[in-house]
Amino acid sequence: MTSEITWHKSTYSGGNGGDCVEVAEGATTHIRDTQHRAHSQLSVSGSEWNALLHALRSR
């Protein structure tokens, strides 16, 4: 069984066309480079994604 994932541009991506990241959130969070969508993606658990966001916000 394959479920469709819905990608959206991360709100943490720059708005000037650079550093664009797309995410698809669910039980597993998928992350990919907007400019290289055909390349591989990173998949992490929800808790790992939340830990990353927390670390980035703490900077």
Per-residue pLDDT tens over the stretch 36-48: 888 889 999 989 9
Question: Rounded to an integer, what distance in angstroms lies between the CA atom of residue 36 and that of residue 1?
Answer: 26
Closest CA to 24 of 49, 2, 1: 49
Predicted confidence at residue 59, as pLDDT, reads: 84
* Entry pTM: 0.70
Closest CA to 41 of 31, 50, 52: 31
pLDDT (tens digit per residue) in 1-57: 456 788 888 776 666 666 788 899 888 999 998 888 888 899 999 899 899 889 989
CB distance 19 to 31 below 8 Å? no
Q: Is the four-CA dihedral 29, 5, 9, 25 of positive or negative sign?
A: negative
Amino acid letter at 8? H
